[in-house]
Amino acid sequence: MTPSRILVIYAHPAPRRSRANKPLARALASLPGVAMHDLYWHYPDFDIDVRIEQAAVEAAELVVFQFPVQWYATPSLLKEWLDVVLEMGWAYGPGGTALRGKHLMVLATTGGRAHAYSQTGTHGYTFDMFLLPLQRTAALCGMQWEPPHVLHDADDASPEAIDAHIAQVRAALQPWLPDSTDDSDFPV
């Protein structure tokens, strides 16, 4: 069996309350070639096993961060993951080539409406501005930044809107999913 080409780093501190991230995570977990990794389940004490995390990232072609935006940022455990896993000499800097050529995609949900993320909206900036730290992290590590997929107003999203978001994400992942006609896993 080939390793998963897509690694989804799922960071939701309260998944039971999730209306959008939980069904998206379930849908992604059902796709071939996708490895789901729930940070809050694996590391409730925030004591991240750096070597295990680095090995998982090295095995993937596409790394996906899935999370609800909280106070304009990632949840705290995802930030901790970034701080300890992306070490100098491994992810960036002299000798830090482990992520070079890989792809990074963000799947985020917000509680605010889409128009709130504009220069004239409540938050004063477009949503892309809040993703700049992740985009710059990808660049520093030599990763290709993929367009993010955001579901705004997730707490009030209709089931149809959530389903449409899931379909959009599946379509975006298609280039990394195994071809159903590919039989390279089968012995000759």
At 87 the pLDDT is: 98
Token output for 54: 């680095």
pLDDT exceeds 50 at position 114: yes
pTM here?
0.92
Q: Are 145 and 2 in contact (CB under 8 A)?
A: no
At 3 the pLDDT is: 58
At 15 the pLDDT is: 84
Mean pLDDT across the chain, nearest whole number?
93
The alpha carbon dihedral of 50, 53, 58, 64 has a sign of negative
Structural domains in the chain, sorted by start: 6-176 (3.40.50.360)
